[in-house]
C-alpha cells in the first residue's frame, strides 16, 4: 500500500491486518465528525471548522485543528452573485435558487449566501428536498462556513418562476430548513466532516432518494482537493434520516472505501468501490439504480442496482457488466458511458419516452438518452454551452420535471450559487 493510502486510512479505526497490510475502516473518522463533543456557536451538530470565533489555528491538538480546511470555496462567501445569465436556444435560466439574488433570499432566510450542488429528490410526502455542498452564510453577525446543508422546497412550486422554500421553524420537520431556536435563520449542517487537511476536508452530497418515508443521501468524503475537476476521496457512503432531513446518521455499513483492495468478509473494502465514489439514484420497476463515477470529473460511469429494501446492504447490490449480465462484484462493473464523466443525474422523461442523463464537461451541460436504465446511451446533446455561461457544474434533474420541459438545477462557480434552468426538449 502506498504511503498516501496509509495517510488516508490511518484515521479510520477498526484496524484490519491482511498479509501485513494495515487497512483502517470507519469508526474514529465518522464518530469524531458526527459527535458534538465540543460546543459550536452556530452549528448544533458540532464544530465544522468554520464556526464563529474559529481561527483555524487553535483547538484540539488531538484532531489537528491547526491544519483545518475551510472547504472548496475560499472567498469567505463574499464573492458577489451576478445577474442570472441570459441563455440562447432551447434552455432558459429561470431563476437563482440560492444567494442574495434568489427570489427566496436564502441568504437572509436560511444563512445561505453562497453554496453549490443542490441535489433534489422527492421526499415521498409532498416536498422536494435539496442537499447542498460547502456553504457560506451569516450567523451571529459573522460569515461562517459549513460542510453541507439542506432545504425543503414546496413541491407545488411553479418551476417556470422559482423554487419556493417555506419559512424555517425550529423543531418543525416540514419547514424550510432544520434550524435551532438560537439561530432560526441559519440552516444547520446535515453532518460534519473532521475538516482537517490530508484527512477529511468535506462531505459532499451526490444523490438522494426516499424509500417508505425514510430519506437516503449518498455523499463522498473528500480527502484532498486537487486540480480543477480533480479531488481524492476517502470513501462514499449513505446517510439516513427518519425525520424528513431534520437529523442524519451515517450508516457505516454502506461505506465504500476508495481502495483497489479486497478484504474478505468486509464488504466496505472491496475492489471496484472506487467506481462508485459519487452516486445518483433512479427508481425504475422493481429496482433502484445507482449511477457511479470515480472521484473527480475524469472517469467513466458505471451502474449498480438493488431492491429498495436492500439499500443499506452492499452484499445485495448487483453491478452491470454489459448485455444482460449482472454481478455481485463491483470490480466486474463495466462502463456505461466512457470518460470523462462528471457528477450526474438520471430520470425517465415521458415526452421523449426515454431515460435522460445530465452531465457536465468543461463547463458545458450535456444530455444523453437511453431506452433502458443501463443503456445504450446516446451521444451528447448540449443543453448549455460554456460559451453562454462559463463555470457550470453539477446538473441535477428536478423530480417535478415532466413532458417537454426538462427542469434542472446547476451550479455556477463564478457566483458560487445554484440556479434553476429549463430546457424545451421539443426544440433540441
Give, in order, the Cα–Cα distances in Å from 365 to each of 28, 344, 385, 389: 38, 10, 7, 10
Pairing of strands 135-139, 142-146: antiparallel
* The three cell numbers locating residue 224: 484532498
- SS3 sequence, 329-354? CHHHCCCCEEEEECCCEEEEECCCCE
Q: Residue range 267-290: average pLDDT?
A: 97
User: In which residue are the cell numbers 464573492 written?
Assistant: 79
Mean of the per-residue pLDDT values of the chain: 86
pLDDT tens figures, 136-173: 999 998 989 999 999 999 888 899 999 999 999 999 99
Write down the residue that cell numbers 468524503 correspond to.
Answer: 221
At 73, the pLDDT band (50, 70, 90 cuts) reads low
3-71+83-427, CATH topology level: Tachylectin-2; Chain A (2.115.10)
- Region 198-203: mean pLDDT is 93
Phi, psi angles (nearest 5°) of residue 193: -95, 170
**Taking residues 388-417, what's their average pLDDT?**
95
Share of the chain above pLDDT 70, in %: 83
Give the pLDDT confidence score for residue 41 in this predicted structure: 80
Whether 29 shows a pLDDT value over 50: the answer reads no
Cell of 157: 412550486
If pLDDT is split at 50, 70 and 90, which confidence band does 228 have? confident
In this predicted structure, the answer to whether residue 289 has a pLDDT above a threshold of 90 is: yes
Instruction: Write down the pTM of the prediction.
Output: 0.89
- Counting residues of the chain whose pLDDT is more than 90, the rounded percentage is 77
Residues 6+ apart with CB under 8 A from 353: none
**Stretch 361-374: mean pLDDT, rounded?**
96
The confidence score (pLDDT) of residue 107 equals: 97
Query: Quick check: 27 pLDDT over 60?
Result: no
Supply angle C-alpha 409, 125, 130, rounded to 5.
25
pLDDT of residue 15: 32
In tens, the pLDDT along 56-71 reads 322 222 333 334 454 5
pLDDT confidence bin for 50, thresholds 50/70/90: low
How far is the C-alpha of 287 from the C-alpha of 34, rounded, in Å?
Answer: 31
Tens-place pLDDT, residues 76-118: 555 689 999 999 999 999 999 999 999 999 999 999 999 999 9
Q: Is 123's pLDDT higher than 50?
A: yes
* Per-residue pLDDT tens over the stretch 373-382: 999 999 999 9
For the chain, give the secondary structure using H, E and C.
CCHHHHHHHCCCCCCEEECCEEECCCHHHHHHHHCCCCCCCCCCCCCCCCCCCCCCCCCCCCCCHHHECCCCCCCCCCCCCCCCCCCCCCEEEEEECCCCCCCCCHHHHHCCCECCCCEEEECCCCEEEEEECCEEEEECCEEEEECCEEEEEECCCCCCCCCCCCCCCCCCCCCCCCCCCCCCCCCCCCCCCCCECCCECEEEEEEEEEECCEEEEEEEEEEEECCCCCEEEEEEEEEEECCCCCCCEEEEEEEEECCCCCCCCCCCCCCCHHHHCEEEEEEECCEEEEEEECCCCCEEEEEEEECHHHCCCHHHCEEEEECCEEECCHHHCCCCEEEEECCCEEEEECCCCEEEEEEEECCEEEEEEECCCCCCCCCCEEEECCCCCCCEEEEEECCCCECCEEEEEEEECCCCEEEEEEEEHHHC
Amino acid at each position: 500500500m502506498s504511503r498516501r493510502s496509509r495517510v488516508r486510512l490511518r484515521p479510520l479505526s477498526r484496524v484490519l491486518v491482511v498479509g501485513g497490510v494495515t487497512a483502517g475502516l470507519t469508526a474514529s473518522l465518522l464518530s469524531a465528525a458526527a459527535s458534538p463533543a465540543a460546543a459550536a456557536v452556530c452549528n448544533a451538530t458540532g464544530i465544522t471548522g468554520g464556526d464563529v470565533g474559529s481561527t483555524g489555528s487553535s483547538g484540539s491538538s488531538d484532531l489537528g485543528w491547526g491544519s483545518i480546511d475551510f472547504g472548496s470555496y475560499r472567498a469567505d462567501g463574499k464573492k458577489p452573485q451576478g445577474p442570472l445569465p441570459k441563455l440562447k436556444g432551447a434552455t432558459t435560466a429561470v431563476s437563482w435558487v440560492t444567494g442574495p439574488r434568489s427570489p427566496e433570499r436564502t441568504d437572509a432566510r436560511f444563512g445561505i449566501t453562497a453554496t453549490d450542488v443542490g441535489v433534489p429528490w422527492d421526499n415521498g410526502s409532498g416536498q422536494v428536498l435539496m442537499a447542498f455542498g460547502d456553504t457560506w452564510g451569516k450567523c451571529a453577525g459573522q460569515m461562517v462556513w459549513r460542510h453541507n446543508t439542506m432545504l425543503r422546497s414546496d413541491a407545488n412550486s411553479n418551476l417556470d418562476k422559482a423554487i419556493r422554500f417555506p419559512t424555517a421553524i425550529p423543531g418543525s420537520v416540514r419547514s424550510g430548513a432544520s434550524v435551532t431556536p438560537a439561530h432560526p435563520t441559519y440552516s444547520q449542517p446535515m453532518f460534519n466532516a473532521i475538516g482537517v487537511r490530508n484527512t477529511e476536508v468535506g462531505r459532499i452530497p451526490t444523490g438522494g432518494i426516499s424509500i417508505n418515508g425514510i430519506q437516503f443521501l449518498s455523499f463522498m468524503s473528500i480527502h484532498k482537493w486537487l486540480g480543477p475537476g480533480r479531488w481524492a476521496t476517502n470513501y462514499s457512503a449513505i446517510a439516513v434520516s427518519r425525520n424528513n432531513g431534520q437529523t442524519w446518521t451515517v450508516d457505516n455499513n454502506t461505506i465504500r472505501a476508495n481502495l483497489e483492495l479486497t478484504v474478505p468478509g468486509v464488504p466496505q473494502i472491496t475492489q471496484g468501490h472506487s467506481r462508485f465514489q459519487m452516486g445518483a439514484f433512479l427508481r425504475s420497476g422493481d429496482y433502484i439504480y445507482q449511477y457511479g463515477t470515480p472521484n473527480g470529473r475524469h472517469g467513466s460511469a458505471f451502474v449498480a442496482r438493488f431492491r429498495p429494501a436492500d439499500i443499506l446492504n452492499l452484499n445485495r447490490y448487483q453491478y452491470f457488466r454489459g448485455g444482460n449480465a449482472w454481478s455481485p462484484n463491483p470490480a466486474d462493473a463495466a462502463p456505461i458511458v466512457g470518460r470523462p464523466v462528471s457528477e450526474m443525474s438520471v430520470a425517465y422523461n415521458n415526452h421523449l419516452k426515454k431515460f435522460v442523463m445530465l452531465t457536465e464537461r468543461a463547463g458545458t451541460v450535456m444530455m444523453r438518452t437511453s431506452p433502458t436504465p443501463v443503456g445504450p446511451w446516446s451521444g451528447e446533446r448540449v443543453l448549455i454551452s460554456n460559451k453562454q455561461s462559463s463555470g457550470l457544474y453539477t446538473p441535477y434533474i428536478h423530480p417535478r420535471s415532466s413532458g417537454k420541459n426538462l427542469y434542472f438545477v446547476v451550479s455556477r462557480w463564478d457566483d458560487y450559487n445554484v440556479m434553476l434552468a429549463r430546457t424545451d426538449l421539443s426544440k433540441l
